[in-house]
Structure 1
Amino acid sequence: MTKQALYILILLLGIGLQAQTARKYSNEFLNIGVNAAAFGMANAVTATTDDVYAGYWNPAGLTRIEDHEIALMHANYFANIANYDYLGSALKIDDESSLGIHVLRFGVDNILNTTQLIDDQGQIDYDRISLFSAADYAFTFSYAKNLPLEGFSFGVNAKVIHRIIGEFANSWGFGLDAGIQFQGKNGWEFGAMARDITTTYNTWSIDEDAYSQVQDAVEGQNQELPETTEITLPKLQLGVAKNFRIRYDWDIKAALDLQMRFAQTQDLIATEAVSVSPALGFQVGYLDLVYLRGGVGNFQNVEQLEGGSKVGFQPGFGLGFKYKGIHIDYAFTDIGDQSVALYSNVFSLKIDWRVFR
């Protein structure tokens, strides 16, 4: 059997590993992030997010939009092998509350399916090669409202997840997130975001006929169908930020986030109960027109081939431009993996609909 067939088999078997049990890593495409401005700050935005992108980072921040905002983002992943796209919209429905809807897609397209490369006569027939995509989708619906306590707001997300591996398998999942923000005095901001608070379930449906094409990819191992349920553990993000005004034309924002998983992982601080990775970011703005951003996060203990480990991290750098209601942001960052993946150029566009009214 060809390498491509073996690759498909591994994808399918990965669905069933540790089935019916909670996983350290599941639906990881939802942890990459959105918005080039956030990537530029190493994703340290839990306390400060205040626009349409808040539906992803902390839905409580949606209460701070003024009218109706829409946003787009595109990024290439693994040197253009995968595409990562986002579309979001948020609407102020009254003085105290807002709604949002967001769509994410992470996909690898045009994968060669060579499971039928050899015909019944044992001859290679390249016309039997087909193409398929492996793609992950998330559809998120957000609601946010100001609390009766001054400076406090909360928000919730309901998300539907759809994952596809060509004709071989697909899954549907559902989960909930919840967040809170507090705008204090003297420029202080605080935030907390709990993801997958009910745990998120993905239920897979596997095409047995398609799966049978790759069952014997490993000689002598007639693989059984994998189990079809995976569970995503809750995660918690805590954030604090401080805003400084220098004269009337310069603004500086400094932020710290702690990203926590309730399992032992490769994060900088890792115990059996919880693992923690910090993120630090800053933004310098001039006349609320031009922005410079930087940050460092995703600190991981990276195992070395020669033995031992070293601390790796994910740096970020970004620029932003705002004119009236149009925001264009750019980030240069190693999204998703601080030591293996190549650096990516991320662009995002946000439009405040008031500019057209």
Structure 2
Amino acid sequence: MMHAEYFAGIAKFDYLGYSTSLDMDNQIGVSLIRFGVDDIPDTRFLYDANGALNYNNIQFFNAADYALMLTYAHDVSDAFKLGVNAKIIHRNVGKFAQAWGFGLDVGGIYLMERWRFGVMLRDVTSTFNAWFHNAELVRDIYAQTNNVIPVNSIELTLPRAILSATRDVDINDEISVQGVLDLEVTFDGRRNTAIRTGLASFEPRLGLEGSFRKMAFLRLGGSHIQRIKDFDGTFYTAWKPSFGVGVFLNNKFQIDYALSDIGGISQTPYSHVFSVKVSLKEYEKKFRINKGWDN
């Protein structure tokens, strides 16, 4: 279970997930996600027929995205794991528009002593959303304000790949460090990323986690490296730092907290992310040591 707030609380993200093992080599999971902005004022009828302001005519609506994810994972061997994720997506903008969509993610991880290498292909089939608009609700207002009347359409999300490498280092019997390097590859044109070509854009992300007795964790990270043009025509490089802590309260409960965009590097305000993990049975010690992996 996780809750996060973006843009200083304007947008809210909620996640609820459950997973279980079918047998020694097969696992399944189900997840529910909601990301939305609530209580958006509908000002279409702010002015009455006489042209006077009437705030009692303001109504409110929500704009939210929902996703149901069904997950299956298989242990090909002790070192190699594969997984697939099917997504059913529903998007709703009050009574004005809604969409339904479907997509697939595929991933794999290879374990090698203190190294882990992973590959994730998101939206591998291109995730689509079919939009249906209730144009009659806005036709008159849009015509008066010279806005385009919305029509039903198909929205596509192109595939992207995420490459990851993780290394564990033991400082002593009580303190250890884990470093992670991710490389996200997108194929939807040249983005403002650290590395970009006409074919793909590459965005590196770096994370570092220190743990004490595998019970308390301190995390630091950096992402979104961009070269930005200032008002005077000069360029500067910006990146987004993040910070987090985690703790196992006991053998069944784990709490994590993260703070992103420390110092307001990006144009969006900082975000708080809280998550709680609950196990129906007690975590074994090797679960904390290996983050759930058997070896």
Do Structure 1 and Structure 2 share a fold, with TM-score over 0.5? yes
1:81 Cα shift?
Answer: 1.2
Alpha carbons 1:215, 1:223 under 8 Å: kept: yes
**Residue in structure 1 matched with residue 165 of structure 2 by the alignment:** 240
1:160 Cα shift?
Answer: 1.1
Task: Provide Cα deviations, 1:136-179, integer angstroms capped at 9, x if missing partner.
Answer: 112111100011x4400100000011111111111111100000
Indicate whether 1:255 and 2:180 are aligned.
yes
Query: How big is the alpha-carbon RMSD for the aligned residues of Structure 1 and Structure 2?
Result: 1.9
Indicate whether 1:91 and 2:16 are aligned.
no
Indicate whether 1:114 and 2:39 are aligned.
no
**Residue in structure 2 matched with residue 81 of structure 1 by the alignment:** 10
Give the Cα–Cα distance (whole angstroms) in 1 for the partners of residues 28 and 274 of structure 2.
24
Indicate whether 1:281 and 2:207 are aligned.
yes
Matched residue of 2:19: which SS?
strand
**Residue in structure 1 matched with residue 244 of structure 2 by the alignment:** 318
Give the Cα–Cα distance (whole angstroms) in 2 for the partners of residues 289 and 276 of structure 1.
34
Q: Which moved more, 1:224-233 or 1:165-174?
A: 224-233
Q: Which moved more, 1:346-355 or 1:174-183?
A: 346-355
The alignment's TM-score, normalised by the length of structure 2, stands at 0.89
Structure with more strand by fraction: 2
1:339 Cα shift?
Answer: 1.1
1:338 Cα shift?
Answer: 4.9
Q: Which moved more, 1:93-102 or 1:117-126?
A: 117-126
Give the Cα–Cα distance (whole angstroms) in 2 for the partners of residues 222 and 289 of structure 1.
56
1:303 Cα shift?
Answer: 3.7
AA aligned opposite 2:103: G
The alignment's TM-score, normalised by the length of structure 1, stands at 0.74
1:217 Cα shift?
Answer: 5.1
Where relative contact order (Cα < 8 A, 6+ residues apart) is larger, the structure is 1
Matched residue of 2:102: which SS?
strand
Alpha carbons 1:302, 1:309 under 8 Å: kept: yes
Give the Cα–Cα distance (whole angstroms) in 1 for the partners of residues 282 and 80 of structure 2.
28
Q: How does 1:1-357 map to 2 (within 5 A)?
A: 72-147=1-76, 149-185=77-113, 187-216=114-143, 218=145, 221=146, 223-262=148-187, 263-322=189-248, 323-334=250-261, 338-355=265-282
Give the Cα–Cα distance (whole angstroms) in 2 for the partners of residues 273 and 240 of structure 1.
23
Structure 1 170/304 Cα, relative in aligned 2: closer, same or farther at 3 Å? farther
1:308 Cα shift?
Answer: 4.6
Give the Cα–Cα distance (whole angstroms) in 2 for the partners of residues 182 and 94 of structure 1.
20
Alpha carbons 1:268, 1:311 under 8 Å: kept: no
Matched residue of 2:70: which SS?
strand
Matched residue of 2:282: which SS?
helix
1:97 Cα shift?
Answer: 1.0
Structure 1 236/338 Cα, relative in aligned 2: closer, same or farther at 3 Å? farther
Structure with more helix by fraction: 1
AA aligned opposite 1:117: L
1:324 Cα shift?
Answer: 1.3
Matched residue of 1:353: which SS?
coil
1:128 Cα shift?
Answer: 1.5
AA aligned opposite 2:88: V
Give the Cα–Cα distance (whole angstroms) in 2 for the partners of residues 222 and 350 of structure 1.
46
Matched residue of 2:281: which SS?
helix
Q: Could you tell me which runs of 5 or more consecutive residues in structure 1 were left unpaired when the two chains were aligned.
A: 1-71
Matched residue of 2:48: which SS?
coil
Task: Provide Cα deviations, 1:83-139, integer angstroms capped at 9, x if missing partner.
Answer: 111111111111001111111111111111010122333333222110011111121
Structure 1 140/308 Cα, relative in aligned 2: closer, same or farther at 3 Å? farther
Structure 1 305/106 Cα, relative in aligned 2: closer, same or farther at 3 Å? farther
AA aligned opposite 1:259: E
Structure 1 239/353 Cα, relative in aligned 2: closer, same or farther at 3 Å? same
AA aligned opposite 2:214: D
**Residue in structure 2 matched with residue 9 of structure 1 by the alignment:** none
1:243 Cα shift?
Answer: 0.8
Alpha carbons 2:133, 2:152 under 8 Å: kept: no
1:248 Cα shift?
Answer: 2.2
Matched residue of 1:215: which SS?
helix
Give the Cα–Cα distance (whole angstroms) in 1 for the partners of residues 229 and 142 of structure 2.
32
Give the Cα–Cα distance (whole angstroms) in 2 for the partners of residues 312 and 183 of structure 1.
33
Structure 1 136/305 Cα, relative in aligned 2: closer, same or farther at 3 Å? farther
Percent identity, aligned pairs only, is: 36
Task: Provide Cα deviations, 1:200-225, integer angstroms capped at 9, x if missing partner.
Answer: 1111000022121431353xx26343
Alpha carbons 2:135, 2:149 under 8 Å: kept: no
Alpha carbons 1:115, 1:213 under 8 Å: kept: no
1:301 Cα shift?
Answer: 2.8
